[in-house]
């Protein structure tokens, strides 16, 4: 006798795939980001501290991986838990690239 997939398991897989991709993109952003502290010191721009801090840069992949692992092990039947984790990780990934570059973009826009 085989175990059938629960209804909606395709959506669960898509959400887990999006969450894993968001963690990997976050790691790539951190790896290519360079030394933001030094860059801000050179330009004299205000520093967005949270997204360039080590706890954020290391914490998002660790917490994201733990959440994804919990979803994979627990296998909740509803789609809400999967979608919530995926959306939160995509937002965290977006914050990782948008917030560090926002002051520099604003500074560049002031140059005439």
pTM over 0.75: yes
Domains of the chain, by residue range, sit at 11-110
69-78 pLDDT, tens digit each = 999 898 888 8
88-102 pLDDT, tens digit each = 999 999 998 888 887
What is the predicted pLDDT for the residue at 32?
A: 84
Of the candidates 28, 39, 58, 55, the one whose C-alpha atom is nearest the C-alpha of residue 100 is 39
């Amino acid at each position: 006798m085989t175990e059938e997939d629960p209804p909606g398991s395709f959506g669960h897989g898509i959400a887990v795939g999006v969450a894993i991709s968001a963690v990997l993109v976050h790691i790539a952003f951190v790896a290519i980001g360079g030394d933001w502290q030094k860059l801000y010191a050179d330009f004299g721009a205000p520093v967005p501290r949270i997204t360039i801090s080590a706890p954020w840069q290391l914490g998002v992949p660790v917490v994201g991986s733990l959440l994804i692992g919990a979803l994979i092990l627990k296998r909740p039947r509803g789609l809400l838990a999967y979608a919530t984790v995926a959306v939160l990780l995509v937002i965290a990934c977006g914050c990782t690239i948008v917030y560090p570059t926002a002051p520099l973009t604003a500074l560049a826009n002031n140059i005439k």
